[in-house]
């Protein structure tokens, strides 16, 4: 766990971790596979990685980096709720990443389950593995302990076959498309980015591990798990 003074320092710390893993993966395997998280917390990180005023932009091997998403809302890519749209506006549209390296979830597919199956097939095709080992997965944490789009009480929490699921989220009255635990826990590296005092309680509960919250089940089988928090989100 790393704790930073504020959101800006958290984004800077996360950018350092991102670049270090990107450079190492390309040095070892010639490519870097990363899954981006949605929500509001990672936006500062994405902006920082793309900003011409900072060193990070020149350190990321954009042409060797393949971008995936840990989850997506059931909306088109130009919709205000789209995680793809957020990451594209904050970062991808400003950096020299080949379009063929951008592997978004097709949230516009009216059949969310089909969108999940398509993304699973695409992940396997691009990585060449039936159980891909992504180099890095970014995750956030919701106040209810959800991560990616694995919400408390959701059947997708118990998914063991599919790499991508399409749970119906009653309280949001919508489907979501999300990477499942077998795929998440096969990653080489998982970074949780969490900020804000409203998250301190759930961070403490997840770290205490009462097996109540989906985020507790993110435990890489053979990889690292790193919590990056700002001071407000850090448990006392």
Instruction: Indicate whether 147 belongs to the interface with ligand 6PG (CB under 6 A).
Output: yes
Angle at 119 between CA 140 and CA 226, to 5 degrees: 25
CA atoms within 13 A on the CB side of 3: 10
Tell me if 148 contacts ligand 6PG by CB under 6 A: yes
Angle (nearest 5°) at CA 103 between 122 and 36: 120
71 binds ligand 6PG (CB under 6 A): yes
| 137, β-bridge pairs | 35, 190
Q: Pick the piece of the chain touching ligand 6PG (CB under 6 A) from 45-53, 103-111, 147-155, 220-228.
A: 147-155
- Per CB under 6 A, does 83 bind ligand 6PG? yes
Identify the three-state secondary structure at position 173.
coil
Q: By beta-carbon distance, which residue lies closest to ligand 6PG?
A: 140
Taking the C-alpha atoms of residue 31 and residue 2, their distance in angstroms, rounded to an integer, is 27
Q: How far apart are CA 83 and CA 63, in angstroms?
A: 21
Q: Cβ closer to ligand 6PG: 3 or 24?
A: 3
Following CA atoms 97, 130, 214, 67 in sequence, which dihedral angle do they give, to the nearest 10 degrees?
A: 0
| Position among 140, 145, 165, 223 found at the interface with ligand 6PG (CB under 6 A) | 140
142 is a contact residue toward ligand 6PG (CB under 6 A): yes
Q: Is 61 one of the binding residues for ligand 6PG (CB under 6 A)?
A: no
Closer residue to ligand 6PG in complex, CB, 39/77: 39
Tell whether residue 180 is a contact of ligand 6PG (CB under 6 A).
no
Identity of the residue, 64 or 218, whose beta carbon is nearer to ligand 6PG in the bound complex: 218
Distances (CA, A) of 196 to 46, 146, 232, 235: 18, 16, 5, 11
**39 binds ligand 6PG, rule: CB under 6 A:** yes
Interaction with ligand 6PG in 183-212: which residues (CB under 6 A)? none
CB-nearer residue toward ligand 6PG: 42 or 64: 42
With 0-12 CB in 10 A as exposed, 13-18 as middle and 19+ as buried, what is 127? middle
The binding site for ligand 6PG (CB under 6 A) comprises 37-41, 71, 83, 140-142, 146-149
């Amino acid at each position: 766990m790393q704790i930073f003074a504020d959101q800006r320092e958290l984004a800077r710390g996360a950018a350092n971790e991102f670049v270090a893993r990107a450079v190492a993966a390309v040095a070892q395997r010639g490519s870097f596979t990363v899954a981006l998280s949605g929500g509001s917390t990672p936006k500062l990180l994405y902006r920082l990685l793309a900003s011409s005023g900072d060193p990070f932009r020149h350190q990321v091997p954009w042409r060797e980096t393949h971008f995936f998403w840990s989850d997506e809302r059931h909306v088109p890519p130009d919709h205000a709720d789209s995680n793809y749209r957020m990451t594209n506006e904050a970062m991808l549209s400003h950096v020299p990443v080949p379009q063929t390296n951008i592997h978004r979830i097709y949230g516009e597919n009216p059949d969310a389950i089909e969108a999940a199956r398509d993304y699973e097939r695409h992940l396997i095709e691009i990585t060449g593995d039936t159980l891909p080992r992504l180099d890095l997965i970014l995750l956030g944490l919701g106040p209810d302990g959800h991560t990616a789009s694995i919400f408390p009480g959701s059947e997708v929490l118990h998914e063991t076959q599919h790499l991508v699921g399409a749970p119906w989220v009653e309280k949001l009255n919508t489907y979501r498309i999300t990477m499942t635990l077998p795929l998440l826990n096969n990653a080489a590296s998982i970074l949780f980015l969490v900020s804000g005092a409203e998250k301190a309680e759930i961070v403490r509960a997840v770290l205490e591990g009462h097996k109540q919250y989906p985020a507790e089940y993110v435990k890489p089988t053979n990889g690292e798990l790193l919590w990056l928090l700002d001071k407000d989100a850090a448990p006392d």
